[in-house]
Structure 1
């Protein structure tokens, strides 16, 4: 059977023609529009019906914007964000008192009339004409719902909002046609459900569920009579009847609703009298919107998640399209953030640096082999006040970070070493490494046009006592500048550029690093997340994985829920396993006996590198274990503070080094993040140091054992044996050892081959 029309079997146009004359006149009076006498009304109505027929046949209802919930990796809530705080609920989850209250006060004949209430229009017209103003409206709940749909569709565009709410006959006509359509298609119960979910209740609360939580800290299904009456009364004027700001006015309005409910028979007079005497009973929950409210000081990570959504094409072809989905909300975003790691990051920051210090610190933790961001924090809280900031120091500018990142200092040197190893240079590579030297030229570049030191720039070491020659292991542990400048001059800049490309190391601006020798000393600004991700490739034995913050996203639209595609980490080989293992061995030496000793972890394998820039404006420690990589930056975001004679976290420092402030922050953040986790080992390589080679020079050639168990001096004998230059390089084995004799001793003559400092 065809569905019965709510207008008594009339078509939409016939219903419009029947009611439009009165509706237009009423709308004109309510809008303050002066119309001539009845004859003119007929012309207006006639023209309006023709315009009515030209309107599109269907009302395109946009999905209601709702709050988005951001969760950590274990499902705990980090924050809720929304353009409109709304949670859509079914009618069965809305208190019957609420349903009756809104109908009683806004449209008491809702279940009796069609889309337009003729009696209501006539009553309003008569009353407004007598009062000489607009004292009563005549819109039905259905018409109000249609208007709210247009407001919702307008979003935050002030021009569109004005068009959706302007008091004109044209808007009334449009509402009328769509109201008729909605009545026919949805029915009364669905219209009421939609109305209660779309309506604004003040205090940033859209929909009855958000309103119930805001004013009474309870779900809409649990609202009692007086609470429901209060919310129903707010709808007419959310600012005037705001119970938080004007309890007296709100109570008067609530009692008006209660009286009306008694008049229409929804409640008894006794119930009405008792409810009217009760206090408002507010139990207000403050709105918690946005990343500024994030738990565990995860505001900057939360903001990064938002930037990922708005920037990644996987969520839409244009930023506008992605922003529309974000603002629509209804998303549940499960992230990679580890609650344990995040808590440890922030605790370490709080213990080592004060919010009011003249410098700031940022920490980012990344999981090798997956790219998952497990922690992200900084010492200046997220906010807009003194000693607060909206800038995320851990990320590139495009993702909410500083314009250029921060110069990395000597934390860049492992990239140069990795490039040289990939080019075939041995881990025992030696350079003269004077205390100070001009940048050598020419230096080859990828373009083929060599770099020339036309300005005569020079580079010194940290201390005048740092004078070579040095080998790679010592140079890395002591962070010898001139060594790595000579290494770049030797291999050229292109291998370094290829290595940093493979590790996705770019400037904070997003631009590629320049091909200049000074880049080997970390002269350009890079974000901590970039550094942590690059060092994670060393931990993962050469596999680089792009950083990811999002595990999964579901979106609720109405009663439907769907999964969204999310960006995945892409892993690729940036260097050979042998190169990565060699770098790991080198950087383990930094924390064991080099500049990073204050950062070293005592209970597990770890490696890292310190970095300090010109005038001590930036200090870094970037380090890792086989299962976690972390970068710590300390400095001034404006690059104006020289960390000399400075107090940080209540501790005075004559000079700040990468190992003195960032190092301990890294150590404590990593310790807590890894507590209770597995403690795997690195795959290390044997890198002879200078002292061993000096002994080797004195004791012989140090050759490997041959098939007969004889060598040119024995592998160990050549390293520790006696003899002068060309003498017998072997030693007698200890009888307690079961190692084959030829492995330790040999009969051959040493040639004095391996002995350089």
Structure 2
């Protein structure tokens, strides 16, 4: 080869002068190549000269879009996502064979000419004149790189992409001017590295590193001469020379490259012949893009991370800016997901609810005191096929969740209890709580009182459930009439205030309606919201907003700001300690016995809704809180006489199906973890040895199944239910 030069040895001013001096010739080339009509020659030359000085001085080189890797909190890969599969690497991490092959076939005089190859121009003119068309181009490798920059900047915008690739004199003139500038600014080696990282190699692979991994499942630094030749040959026409779809055509093209390498003395003829005789040796890795490829059943958590990025202003003031940053990629996103917790959650889900069941389950677990989401899964996998979905049942609608969340049943009752305790109601409060009673005639709201003018009534599970009851026993047995009486005395506004402090909103993002039926779980709420709210009980009254991202590293090891959990006191420690005591009783002797953990402090609440369309268990230890929902996303399956997870269920209760899912998930998630205790208080029972049945949320008593009594009839007027969420009707 001749002596290598950077920028042809000329300053930008000298190169510009040289360009202008040959503008007529360049115009002819452009006319002959881009616009074959012979009559355009003069116009091309004139347009080139006049437009040259009007072009902006410097080429903007946008950061290359790359793959983003989403990691768990231990650094393990959850998934890779990208708009373009690319991993930028330095020239030192690219095989010398690859460098030589690309230069040999695309621009063999790359190191000898400047930004514009005059010999190439003359050769192209001569060849095209003989062929009567566009048989040969004259673009240098630098000019091709500039064109790729234009295309990268256009992204997937069809209009911008058409402008970046249109065969016009104006585009060619810009390419030439920027090529001159880049040769002087970057030098040959940097231009070659940039080209190898930006160009498209087919099969969704951008840049040589992604291409090497796609076709040979190895890094670009390890490419052999024949592998390098194959990749270099693809660049001219990725579809025509695609080795996956046409191995014979790709082999012919590879051999052309090998011969060219021999002709320019990059390799010997013997080496070229030996390489030609070898098969392509493909070891194809299929594209692994998006949350659908996530491991450990974490596809929905992966999707949630994406939604957080696209919705949080910390990543950009506008949706467009956030989307642009996400699509550009090249990020290392370290999340809060704990692999031990996630594996345990998914294993428990798989054990108890099958993918093919008529109903589904979703479970989310968060860390009290930090808001970190440690596990998130569901029985219908992330995907597009049968019994798959892209709806994340664990989160709110704006984060790709269900439209309204799911009615929570009696799992809402602790929020009322906390509000009442904060208002000064004693933990020993007793109510008559008969088997059946009308709603209070008037209940105070934050404004105009709610008035029951229809004589609507509420019932307990069965006629044996009649008071008086104190709070502890009423919570353990989930006595409906007790809590309706309590909200009558407490009022709705304190409950609204407590819900706000605990981050409790409907699944569609709206605040809860100011109607008494909220205490019976009439409105739809997401599992993530419920798990985070209960975590405040575990954290002795301090609520922390949920977070999914711990850190983000951008290209160049630059750290990006990430959303932080905001922790605020929602209730006094005394109130939280009382709630923890009450909900420990639910597991010890109430409706949640089937969910109980035997080796550590735990508490929780069951919930079942109208016609058994939803069943819940929300529970926690001092160091982990989780919510489990079971039901139909369309709210059209009544869970009676149904098979779930291979087990026949005559009637589904919150403690009977969701409870064991929670229990098994917690056992695995907390294995080997500390076992702290609650700060429990002494709350005496008002009555002893009465109503031993476990109430409408089910439960396990001794060796037999408790709580299998008929579903209570409860009459709730439309004005109690509030604004329609598609889940109207009775709630318990």
- Per the normalisation by structure 2, the TM-score is 0.92
Tell which deviates more after alignment, 86-95 or 117-126: 117-126
Partner of 1:342: 342
How far 1:334 sits from its partner (Å)? 1.0
Residue 6, structure 1, aligned to residue 5, structure 2: no
Which whole-Å CA distance do the structure 2 matches of 1:253 and 1:344 have between them?
A: 51
How far 1:435 sits from its partner (Å)? 2.1
Partner of 1:386: 386
Aligned with residue 639 of structure 1, among 625, 635, 642? 635
Residue 481, structure 1, aligned to residue 480, structure 2: yes
- Contact 1:24–1:172 (8 Å) recurs in 2: no
Which whole-Å CA distance do the structure 1 matches of 2:6 and 2:108 have between them?
A: 22
Aligned with residue 616 of structure 2, among 616, 620, 625? 620
- Contact 1:7–1:15 (8 Å) recurs in 2: no
Partner of 1:539: 538
Partner of 2:600: 604
Q: What pairs up with 1:480-519 in 2 under 5 angstroms?
A: 480-519=479-518
- Contact 2:301–2:377 (8 Å) recurs in 1: yes
Per-residue CA deviation, residues 191-211 of structure 1 (Å, 9 max, x unaligned), is 000000000001111110111
| Secondary structure of residue in 1 paired with 2:271 | helix
- Contact 1:143–1:175 (8 Å) recurs in 2: yes
| Secondary structure of residue in 2 paired with 1:690 | coil
Which whole-Å CA distance do the structure 2 matches of 1:167 and 1:561 have between them?
A: 39
Partner of 2:727: none
| Secondary structure of residue in 2 paired with 1:84 | coil
How far 1:434 sits from its partner (Å)? 2.2
| Secondary structure of residue in 2 paired with 1:11 | helix
How far 1:70 sits from its partner (Å)? 1.0
Aligned with residue 676 of structure 2, among 668, 680, 698? 680
Partner of 2:707: none
Per-residue CA deviation, residues 160-201 of structure 1 (Å, 9 max, x unaligned), is 111111111111111111111111111111100000000000
| Secondary structure of residue in 2 paired with 1:610 | strand
How far 1:437 sits from its partner (Å)? 2.5
Which whole-Å CA distance do the structure 2 matches of 1:453 and 1:690 have between them?
A: 30
RMSD, aligned CA: 1.5
- Contact 1:590–1:596 (8 Å) recurs in 2: yes
How far 1:625 sits from its partner (Å)? 0.6
Partner of 1:667: 663
How far 1:387 sits from its partner (Å)? 0.3
Aligned with residue 591 of structure 2, among 590, 595, 601? 595
Partner of 1:422: 422
Tell which deviates more after alignment, 669-678 or 114-123: 114-123
How far 1:51 sits from its partner (Å)? 1.1
- Contact 1:19–1:116 (8 Å) recurs in 2: no
Q: What pairs up with 1:346-745 in 2 under 5 angstroms?
A: 346-447=346-447, 449-556=448-555, 560-691=556-687
How far 1:126 sits from its partner (Å)? 1.8
Which whole-Å CA distance do the structure 1 matches of 2:52 and 2:676 have between them?
A: 74
- Contact 2:7–2:180 (8 Å) recurs in 1: no
Which whole-Å CA distance do the structure 1 matches of 2:231 and 2:531 have between them?
A: 51
Partner of 1:20: 23
Partner of 2:720: none
Which whole-Å CA distance do the structure 1 matches of 2:595 and 2:10 have between them?
A: 82
Distance 1:460 1:270, change over 3 A: same
Which whole-Å CA distance do the structure 2 matches of 1:501 and 1:157 have between them?
A: 42
Partner of 1:226: 226
Partner of 1:732: none
Which whole-Å CA distance do the structure 2 matches of 1:464 and 1:21 have between them?
A: 101
Tell which deviates more after alignment, 5-14 or 501-510: 5-14
Q: How many residues align?
A: 685
Which whole-Å CA distance do the structure 2 matches of 1:565 and 1:252 have between them?
A: 50
Which whole-Å CA distance do the structure 2 matches of 1:404 and 1:26 have between them?
A: 63
Residue 114, structure 1, aligned to residue 114, structure 2: yes
- Contact 2:6–2:183 (8 Å) recurs in 1: no
- Contact 1:81–1:291 (8 Å) recurs in 2: yes
Which whole-Å CA distance do the structure 2 matches of 1:258 and 1:514 have between them?
A: 73
Max radius of gyration: which structure?
A: 1
Higher relative contact order (CA 8 A, sep 6+): 2
- Contact 2:617–2:658 (8 Å) recurs in 1: yes
How far 1:465 sits from its partner (Å)? 2.4
Partner of 1:44: 44
| Secondary structure of residue in 2 paired with 1:6 | helix
How far 1:299 sits from its partner (Å)? 0.8
How far 1:24 sits from its partner (Å)? 2.7
Which whole-Å CA distance do the structure 2 matches of 1:46 and 1:413 have between them?
A: 81
Which whole-Å CA distance do the structure 1 matches of 2:542 and 2:497 have between them?
A: 15
| Secondary structure of residue in 2 paired with 1:462 | coil
Partner of 1:66: 66
- Contact 2:365–2:625 (8 Å) recurs in 1: yes
Per-residue CA deviation, residues 357-404 of structure 1 (Å, 9 max, x unaligned), is 011000101111111111000000000010000111111111111111
Residue 197, structure 1, aligned to residue 197, structure 2: yes
- Contact 1:12–1:177 (8 Å) recurs in 2: no
Residue 83, structure 1, aligned to residue 83, structure 2: yes
- Contact 2:10–2:184 (8 Å) recurs in 1: no
Which whole-Å CA distance do the structure 1 matches of 2:437 and 2:337 have between them?
A: 46
Shift >4 Å, 4+ stretches: 7-10
| Secondary structure of residue in 2 paired with 1:459 | strand
| Secondary structure of residue in 1 paired with 2:579 | helix
- Per the normalisation by structure 1, the TM-score is 0.89
Partner of 1:751: none
Which whole-Å CA distance do the structure 2 matches of 1:137 and 1:678 have between them?
A: 70
Residue 252, structure 1, aligned to residue 252, structure 2: yes
Which whole-Å CA distance do the structure 1 matches of 2:316 and 2:43 have between them?
A: 48
Partner of 2:719: none
How far 1:17 sits from its partner (Å)? 1.9
How far 1:693 sits from its partner (Å)? 12
How far 1:11 sits from its partner (Å)? 3.3
Which whole-Å CA distance do the structure 2 matches of 1:442 and 1:666 have between them?
A: 38
- Contact 1:13–1:53 (8 Å) recurs in 2: no
